[in-house]
A and B are shown apart, each in its own frame.
Chain A
Amino acid sequence: MDIKTFIIVAVIKIVLVVFILLTGVAYTTLLERKLVARIQNRWGPTRVGPFGLLQPLADGIKFILKEDMVPDSVHKVLYIMAPMLALAMSLISIAVIPFGPSITVNGTTTALQITGVAHSGGGLSDINIGLLIILGATSIGVYGVALAGWSSNSKYSLLGSLRASAQMISYELALGLSLVGVLLLSGSLSLREIVNAQGQAPWWGWLPHWYIFPQILGFFIYLMAAYAETNRIPFDLPEAETELVAGYHTEYSAMKFAMFFMAEYMNMITVACLATLLFFGGWHGPVPQSAPAIVQSLMPVFWFAVKVFFFMFLYIWIRGTLPRFRYDQLMAFGWKFLLPLAIANIIVTSFIVAWRA
């Protein structure tokens, strides 16, 4: 593939993925409001459009038209930069996530991943260290939260942001360690390789070779650590409405608040994508062999979307059901329970892998 085609294909992929992702974020907010409402035995938004389906559009227009205030005593550069940093880091994680194997349009074959390339020999490759890039983007995302609270120059924001960033860096450890079990089994840090390793022959002929079955403990540790990373219930003390006014985004209004909001939901989607890639076999699912080629290429993306939707449903279901942790309970849970459990998971997995070899 020459350089011009490469650039055009890359730009098309970026625009398409970002557009679909932002629409997904908008409709995730609607999904959350409807689901939490149904759990609480009420309807949720139903007025705007049929079944409230145009509610995100109305919310978007509201955010754009609201007055964008910058309070007097904030540190202006950091105040404006913090939500942009949070949003940018969430978008960077999406660049390495593979949505399916390749797709061939008009003679050009490209991998269904922004940073994936298709070789002329028929192979696909992506970044060697895709998983580390996602962990790195999560680490830098802590700055968005920390600087937002500090630059707002108010005590509620500062305390909320200190708590939120301490929580995020504590659970990053458990998050990284829970993924080491999957890495031991698959032998590569590249996300596409991990999904391909889960496409092997099923166990006993019928159980798919997904990593959730050997790594069930790692899966639960990952889930809990990811809920704490994305500041969702039961770990959302730093931004709950009944605590500390609104935490680190107290002083934010309109578009900047919308950016924090979008960054949080995009982090949720990234966590869901990563869980399906690492534990649920990614895009593997029954593909009918008699369909035309374009449907066969897009069927894996459909299965991927189904699994991601299941994780978003799980997120919102847990939000509607569980109460939240107190801050000291939260930190004790992360350091004294999840971290030793993740290390024990690594030890047991490495014994089994070494014993098998």
Chain B
Amino acid sequence: MFHQVLFIIFGLICVAGAVNLLMQRHPINSALSLVVVMASLALIYLLLGAEFLAAIQVIVYAGAIMVLFVFVIMLLNAGAEEHSPGSKIALLMGVPGVIVLGCLVGWIMISNNKQLGGVSISPTDFGGPHNIARLLFRDFLLPFEITSVLILIAIMGAVVLGRRSN
């Protein structure tokens, strides 16, 4: 019961943050609502027993990637957004269409609740750093090394692209 109440609270904060991201006109407000979404997602990960991932979400996603976004918005001095024609039709037809589709999918999933079952807060050390390290450095060692090369390439790419051409 308590678990469900907590999930509903954090889920509502997530969805409110995501809707606020779409409704705001100035990108800095959108960036800050995205930080709120990521923080509440980190709390939902804690509810799912993924404590290491919750910490990594806060440190990497909310604390580094979004800081990068906020930096770029501040540096480029992005102003409020202007509306252009042509997106009104998409708004009028697309939004109700997706809402109907979403309600259909949601109804199908909820009515199959008995087959799917539920998740609960596990008392064991399930998502702890030891277990994830065991997987990451033994079974998934090759993808780990490849992602390190990927990050190196991304760093070089970002430095080259950000350089002033003179």
Q: Mark A residues whose CB is within 8 Å of B.
A: 78, 127-129, 132-133, 135-136, 138-140, 142-143, 146-147, 150, 158, 162, 165-166, 169, 189
Contacts and interface: CB of A to CB of B under 8 A. Distances in A.
B114 to A, nearest CB: 31
Contact of A158 (B28, B51, B62, B74): B74
Contacts of A142: 63, 67
A165 B55 contact: no
B37 interface: no
Interface string B12-43: 00000000000000001000100100000000
Given A132-B55, A146-B71, A146-B74, A140 B125 contact: no
Contact of B63 (A139, A147, A158, A189): A139
Nearest to B26: A75
B144 to A, nearest CB: 15
12 contacts: A128-B125, A128-B128, A129-B55, A129-B129, A132-B59, A136-B55, A139-B58, A140-B63, A142-B67, A146-B74, A150-B74, A189-B129
If over half of A's interface residues share one DSSP class (helix, strand or loop), that class is named, otherwise mixed; here it is helix
A143 B66 CA distance: 9
Given A128-B51, A129-B52, A139 B64 contact: yes
Interface residues of B, number: 20
A139 B55 CA distance: 11
Contacts of B67: 139, 142-143, 146, 165, 169
Given A139-B59, A146-B70, A169-B67, A129 B51 contact: yes
Contacts of B128: 128-129
A259 to B, nearest CB: 19
B62 A140 contact: yes
Interface string B40-69: 000000000001100110110011100100
B58 A136 contact: yes
A136 B129 CA distance: 15
Given A129-B51, A139-B64, A162 B59 contact: no
Interface of B: 28, 32, 35, 51-52, 55-56, 58-59, 62-64, 67, 70-71, 74-75, 125, 128-129
Contacts of B52: 129, 132
A194 to B, nearest CB: 13
Nearest to B128: A128
Nearest to A149: B74
A223 B75 CA distance: 31
Contacts, number: 57
A128 B71 CA distance: 32
A343 B67 CA distance: 24
Contacts of B125: 128
A162 B68 CA distance: 11
Contacts of A135: 55, 59
A323 B62 CA distance: 34
A162 B62 contact: no
A34 B138 CA distance: 55
Contacts of B63: 136, 138-140, 142
Contacts of A139: 58-59, 62-64, 67
B52 to A, nearest CB: 6
Contacts of A132: 52, 55-56, 59
A284 B62 CA distance: 36
Contacts of A128: 51, 125, 128-129
Contacts of B75: 162
Contacts of B51: 127-129
A286 B99 CA distance: 67
A109 to B, nearest CB: 21
Nearest to A131: B55
Given A139-B62, A146-B71, 15 more contacts: A127-B51, A128-B51, A129-B51, A129-B52, A129-B129, A139-B59, A139-B67, A140-B63, A142-B67, A143-B70, A150-B70, A162-B74, A165-B71, A169-B64, A189-B129
Contacts of B56: 132
Most chain A beta-carbon neighbours within 10 Å: one of B32, B63, B125: B63
A191 to B, nearest CB: 13
A95 B128 CA distance: 20
Contacts of B55: 129, 132-133, 135-136
A352 B71 CA distance: 40
A331 B63 CA distance: 19
Contacts of B32: 78, 147
B118 to A, nearest CB: 23
Nearest to B77: A158
